[in-house]
Structure 1
């Protein structure tokens, strides 16, 4: 029950921040954005006090651990893969252009010259 109340309060904080952002439209955009960010931080801190928030925090910690375990490609591998992808994009683009040109020619041939 306490978690539901905390989540409701966090949602109300976010809704109030968004409403305030638009209510004070005549104020500086920088101040409104800062106010919105502060409210989002407060809502996040409230959410982290709930069971779902602690679960999410644990998930983020686990995700960070997994990212550290990843064997990232070397610069050379990254460049080679990028060049292969670019080459394939060019090949597919040319192929689609040729197919489109053929279909355009075929439709013009079948429908006759336009006026």
Structure 2
């Protein structure tokens, strides 16, 4: 028997999420409404609103889950074995060579097909 845990969101979390969307929409609207104000102040105001919205969202269950995911992702990135400079250069040159070879093959195929079609339709010289 399969039992699935249903994720229940509280009313307060839903209210916070709706308010976050309203704040961002109001911030963007204010950014364009106050077009006569200097751009620096409008950008700073919009950045301030986004920071406030992020703070509000981090107090919800969804925000805490996203933050936990970000922290776990940082730990996983530290575990990655990155290639050396030599391996990166070798792989990059191999990709360039393969792209060139495939491009050449496709160009030759296109040229011969075009020649064949012109010959079959009587447009060839």
Using CA pairs under 8 Å that are at least 6 residues apart, name the structure with larger relative contact order, 1 or 2.
1
1:21-66 Cα shifts (integer Å, max 9, x gaps):
2222343333333322222121111101100000000000000000
Runs of 5+ unmatched residues, structure 2: 1-10
What CA RMSD, in Å, does the superposition of the two structures yield over aligned residues?
1.7
User: What is the aligned partner in structure 1 of residue 58 from structure 2?
Assistant: 48
Instruction: Give the alignment partner of residue 38 of structure 2, picking from 14, 17, 28.
Output: 28
User: What displacement does 1:90 show?
Assistant: 0.7
User: What displacement does 1:11 show?
Assistant: 0.6
Instruction: Report the 3-state secondary structure (helix = DSSP H, G, I; strand = E; otherwise coil) of the residue aligned with 2:27.
Output: helix
Runs of 5+ unmatched residues, structure 1: none
> Normalising to structure 2: TM-score of the pair?
0.82
